[in-house]
Each structure stands twice: as C-alpha cells, then as structure tokens.
Structure 1
Amino acid sequence: MKLRVLVFINAIAVAITLSIANYYFQQNLHAVLVTFTATFVISFIIFYYLIEKYIYSKIKLIYKQIHNLKLGRDLRDAIGEHVSADPINDVEHEVEEWATQKKSEIEELRKQEKFRREFLSNISHEFKTPLFAIQGYIDAIQEDDFEDKDMARQFLDKAARNVDRLSYLIKDLDEISKLEKGEIPINYSKFKINDLIKEVLDSSELKAERHHITLEFKEKYDEAIMVYADREKISQVIINLIDNSLKYGKEGGTTSVSIFELHDQVLVEITDDGIGIEEKYLPRLFERFFRTDSSRSRKIGGSGLGLAIVKHIIEAHQQTITVRSTEGLGSTFGFTLQKAKPQIAFPGLPVLKS
C-alpha cells in the first residue's frame, strides 16, 4: 500500500510540473488537462515498474536473507519465501534487532576472552608454583648427593606436599570440566539434610580446632528435614563451604550452619565472622581461580576451585547459590535444595509417594 502511495505522489508531482510548464507556453486549459492526465498515467506506470522491479524486489530479498540468517537457515532458503507487504519497515526492525543482538554477542565474547586470558594466566601460575618448588627441592638433594639425610628427608616431604597440591589441582580441574559438560550424573535420593550437615561438621572438627574456630549447628535442627538431591555431591558442597569459612575465618571465631524451610525448597546457610569480602569482588567469587587476596590465599593453600565446584554442583541440581558479605564482619554462603515430597499413607494400603 505504501509503495502505491509513494508512486502516486511522485506521478502527481511530475504531472503538475509538466502541466504548469505546458500552460506557461500554450495558455490552453484543454491541453493542460490532457498533458496532466497523460503524464500522470505514464509516470505512475514507469515509477511503479522501476521501484517494484529494481528497488522493492532487492529490499525484499535483503529482508528474506536477514530473516533467514537470524533463524540460522541457509541463504538459499531465503528465495521464494513469503514476506509482508511492507518490507522496508520490516527490514528496519530486523536490522535494529540484529544489531542489538550482535552487539550483545560481541560484548559477551569480549567478556569470555577476558575470562580466558585470566584463566590461562591463573592456571599457569597455579601449576608453576608447586612445580618450581618440587624442582628446587630435588635439585638441592641431588647437589648434596644425600650427604645430609635429614635435609633430604625434609625436602622430600616438602616436594611430596607440592605433588599432592598438583594432584588436587588436576583432580578439581577434571571434576569441574566434567560438571560443565554434564558428564557427572546427579544421583537423586531422599535424605535428611540435617544429618548430613552433622556428619560434615564432625569430620571438620579437627581442622576447626587447628584454626581455633568453633563450629555451630543448633539443636533445633534435630527434627528431620528431608531433601531430594545427590547426597554425595551436596556433602562436597558443604565440605567446601566449611573449609572456605575456616580458611578465611578469624582465630577464636565461629562458623555456624543454619537451615530454613521454604515453600518447596530448603535453604542452607554457612556463616562465618571472618575477614569478609569487598562488595566489588562478590560477582566474581565463584569464578575458577579467582582470589580476593592472592598472596594470602596461596599461603592458606587449596586449588582455588572449591567455590567454582560448589556453584556447578548446585546449578546441576537446578538450584541457586548466593553470597552476602561485609568486609571485616564475615560472610554468609547460602544454597537451596529441593524439599522432598512427603509420603502419603492410607489405612490398609502401602505407603505412596506424592
């Protein structure tokens, strides 16, 4: 419809222009009317033909190509498809949407490239530190030719600890890679989350004593709270979060675990009163190898992948993990789990699962 209006306006303009010129030279109204009518008809036909054939047809083809590219089709599929009666307007909207989408994709690619560079730099550093330490201890023992056996034994013990660090690093990298690819299955089962937390706290007691930190889990959680998840993997999540709280907790401080029952979920929170985390670091806290204080973190130890593994395990359960922290006051990590549906019992019938 807009094409015809455009052609009509142009034909009228040409017809009026020629009619005025004709009247100026001949001063004959009849001749002017004939000129106007003939010029209008001829101009309309010529303009319509030229615009339709050489402009609109090309715009329609461009529109089809853009539309099919957005849908991921081959360019050849664009030929012969139906388009609307106003392809110019459609092309404008399609190009705007496409430009916005491409801008977003480019920004995401830039973020991924930055993350890749940082990851390669971090993993290089993580591997180099223990490798150079091992090499140094072995070289020292070889140069001494085992004359000082006590020194050799000490250096071998230190080299063994660095080998263990490398082993943990490779194991964690392998696990996080499999989690990202979905190669590690989630074995769902019903279990008491409070019993699992007690088990983890009991196993962490000696480590907490070494850090002079008290572990708390209140008696009000003795009543069974059932969840539906992978017990082994959730155990790993709690262990990693407890370890993290002990590493960054303060001497003489407390790490406490709390459970909150929501509508169809259970929220587990691990809270410490340690050094806390600056707000600017919170969005990146679950990235692989990200450390808020590199020098202190590496003295404490660990692979730097604990929180990243936690995030992947929780997301594999289609649940969420959050963190809130105040520098100098402490941090709270919380994650949700699906609440197990209660069993329904009917008199005289077997117990049914809802």
Structure 2
Amino acid sequence: MKLYKLSPRNVALIDTLFITLVFIAAYIIISLIWFDLTTEPLLISLPFVFVANFFIIRYSFNHIIFDRIKLIYKVIGRFPNPKEKKKKSVNPLETIQEVVYQWSEDKNKEIKELKRMAAYRREFLGNVSHELKTPIFNIQGYVSTLLDGGLEDDKINRKFLAKTEKSIERLINIVNDLESISKLESGEVKLKANVFNLYELVEEVVDFLEMKAKKSNTKITIKPKLPVPFIVKANKEAIREVLINLVDNAIKYGDKHNNIVKIKLYDMDEKILTEVTDNGVGISQEYLPRIFERFFRTDRGRSRDQGGSGLGLAIVKHIIEAHRQTITARSNIGEGTTFSFTLQKV
C-alpha cells in the first residue's frame, strides 16, 4: 500500500482490526487455560471493543501522529495531498538549498539597505555641518571686524551688525527646521485635521508673499480665477506652511526677468489636486528624484544665495505624507518646475 493512501481513517481501521483479533485470541486462550468461558460475553463485548479502539486510535493518529507528519512536511516546504494519484518526489537537500539561498538573498538586501542608509546618514551629517558652518563663520568674521576697530565706525558697525543678525536668523531657521522634521519623522507631531476652503488659504498665502513677489518682479496667478469652494480636510496651518514653501521657492527660482508663478486647483472627485508652477531654469532629471531630500541642492552656491535652510521641501513632503497624501515634482531644464500635491476632499 502506498504511503499517500494511508489516511488517518484507513490506518485506524487496520489497527482496530488487528487489536480486535488480538482481543479474540486472548479471550479464547484464557477460556481454554484458566476459565471455562462461554462465547456470549465475547460476542457482546466485541462491537464495543472494536468501536472504542477505532475512535481512540483515529483520534490519537489525527491529533498526535498525523499532525507531526504534516509539521515535518511544512518544514521542508511540501506536504503531499493524500488524494493525489501521482506523488511528486521531494528532495530535502534541494529544499534546504532553496531556503538557504532565499535567506542569503534577504540578508544581502538588508546589508545593501544598511549601507545605503549609512551613506545617506554620512551625507546628511556632512550637509548639516556645512549649512551650520557657513553662518557661524560669517558671524565670526563680522564680529572680528567689529572688534578690530569697525565698531567705532557707524557705517561699518551697522552694516556688519545687520549681516550678523541675518546669519543668526539663518542659524535659528536651520535649527527650527531640523526640529520640525525630526518631530514629523518620529510621529511626535499629531496633525489635527480641520475642514476649510483651500482656495481661500491659497489667496491668503499669495497676499502674504505679495511684497516679496513684487521685489523679484514676479506675477502670481490662481486658477480658477473666480473664487470656488475647494473644501478639504487637513491641518490648515501645516498646509499653509506647504503652500508658503512651494510658492516662495517658485518666486526665488523663477525667471529673473519675467517670472510667472501659476497656482492651479483641480477637483479630482475624492481629492483636490494643487499645482504650483514656475518658469525658471528647471531641474535636471538626474536630480529630480532627490529633490525632497534634506539639504539637497541642485546648485549649492545659487541656492545658498537665495537663503533658506535647505529643509523646506523635506518638511513639505513629510507634512503631505502625514496626511496620507502624495506630492510629486516634474521639471525639464529651461521649462520650469511644477510641484503637485493632493488633499482629501470633503
């Protein structure tokens, strides 16, 4: 009899028949040697012996032996179906090789990820030290100039004190932004959702940045032109920060002579899509995937001249993702850049 035909029921039946035959033989031997027993007790007890043995053996086989066999087959990755007509052979060595190979592949992936994270951490620390070093060295230079006699000259001391104040503000901005992004990444900041009109918030942000836009000869347009209720559920102040960052970047990095910043809102049934577009130099496809990384700059010198902590887009990304929404960037050199993000529509 083949192994796959030995089901728990068949095994229990065979074992029960064997035990019953042993019971009959024992009864006959006892009656012949020690006692003169009649066949009536044997015939009465025989069905009970058979049924009791069958269920006891079947239960034991099911819950003790057969479960152990299934566990063994699961460990090696295969368990043959008792009803299969053709039993497929299992090579334990091949199964072990497959398991070891898969384990090795998983560990290699983990090692590569750890190396990537270590490289990212080194780059991040290098960027942090560089960003902090610049204003600190500036402050040191300004203070040294003042101490070397510039303090007595009203024109020089006012100029250098103003520059010192600007460098200190930049340091404060970097520290505040680092604290904000750290809290967002750790989940320490819980963004409470409000229901508000996104169109009205966009108008407020444009009004807030109006003077900066005028100084840089930037025109900001909102579409649709007529006020339309785009009602969303999100943290209003966090989304305000997102819009200020995106529009401020569009003003700073747009065309120096005729900059146009376009803000467009789209009703996407369940979501509201917001786009902020500039007509600046654009971002190379090489750098675009890294645009939301902390301190990442496509042009370090030009970006630093524009001010900022280098953490704005990273914070924006974390805020949008904290709302379980998406933000993307698309750009081509010489064609400007568009940032798009979604919010839950009410």
- With the shorter chain as reference, the TM-score category is 0.7 to 0.9
- SS of the aligned residue for 1:266 comes to strand
Q: What's 2:276 paired with?
A: 270
Asked if residue 207 in structure 1 is aligned to residue 199 in structure 2, the reply is: no
Per the TM alignment, residue 83 of structure 1 is displaced from its structure 2 partner at its CA by: 2.5
Per the TM alignment, residue 149 of structure 1 is displaced from its structure 2 partner at its CA by: 2.6
Per the TM alignment, residue 115 of structure 1 is displaced from its structure 2 partner at its CA by: 1.1
For 1:244 and 1:96, the matched residues in 2 are separated by 49
Alignment of 1:1-354 (within 5 A): 83-84=75-76, 87-144=92-149, 146-220=151-225, 222-251=227-256, 252-340=258-346
> What TM-score comes out, normalization by structure 1 length?
0.71
For 1:295 and 1:137, the matched residues in 2 are separated by 20
Question: 1:248-296: CA deviations, max 9, x gaps?
Answer: 1012120010011113111100011111000000010000000000011
Per the TM alignment, residue 88 of structure 1 is displaced from its structure 2 partner at its CA by: 3.0
Q: What's 2:65 paired with?
A: none
Mark the runs of 5 or more structure 1 residues left unpaired by the alignment. Answer: 1-79, 341-354
Corresponding letter in the other structure for 2:241: Q
Backbone CA RMSD of aligned residues: 1.8
Bigger drift between 97-106 and 173-182 goes to 97-106
Contact 2:193–2:233 (CA under 8 A) maintained in structure 1: yes
> What TM-score comes out, normalization by structure 2 length?
0.73
Per the TM alignment, residue 220 of structure 1 is displaced from its structure 2 partner at its CA by: 4.2
Mark the runs of 5 or more structure 2 residues left unpaired by the alignment. Answer: 1-71, 79-89
Contact 1:268–1:336 (CA under 8 A) maintained in structure 2: yes
Contact 2:223–2:265 (CA under 8 A) maintained in structure 1: no
- SS of the aligned residue for 2:75 comes to coil
Contact 2:224–2:264 (CA under 8 A) maintained in structure 1: no
Q: What's 2:54 paired with?
A: none
Per the TM alignment, residue 219 of structure 1 is displaced from its structure 2 partner at its CA by: 4.3
Larger radius of gyration: 2
Q: What's 2:66 paired with?
A: none
Identity of aligned residues (%): 46
Question: 1:152-189: CA deviations, max 9, x gaps?
Answer: 12111111110000000000000000000011111111
For 1:327 and 1:234, the matched residues in 2 are separated by 28
Per the TM alignment, residue 81 of structure 1 is displaced from its structure 2 partner at its CA by: 11
Question: 1:95-139: CA deviations, max 9, x gaps?
Answer: 222222222212212221221111111111111110011011111
Contact 2:224–2:265 (CA under 8 A) maintained in structure 1: no
Bigger drift between 306-315 and 251-260 goes to 251-260
Question: 1:314-337: CA deviations, max 9, x gaps?
Answer: 111111100110111101000011
| Aligned residues between the structures | 262
For 1:81 and 1:246, the matched residues in 2 are separated by 66
- SS of the aligned residue for 1:256 comes to strand
For 1:221 and 1:115, the matched residues in 2 are separated by 45
Question: 1:1-51: CA deviations, max 9, x gaps?
Answer: xxxxxxxxxxxxxxxxxxxxxxxxxxxxxxxxxxxxxxxxxxxxxxxxxxx
For 2:73 and 2:120, the matched residues in 1 are separated by 42
Bigger drift between 89-98 and 99-108 goes to 89-98
For 2:224 and 2:113, the matched residues in 1 are separated by 47
- SS of the aligned residue for 1:223 comes to coil
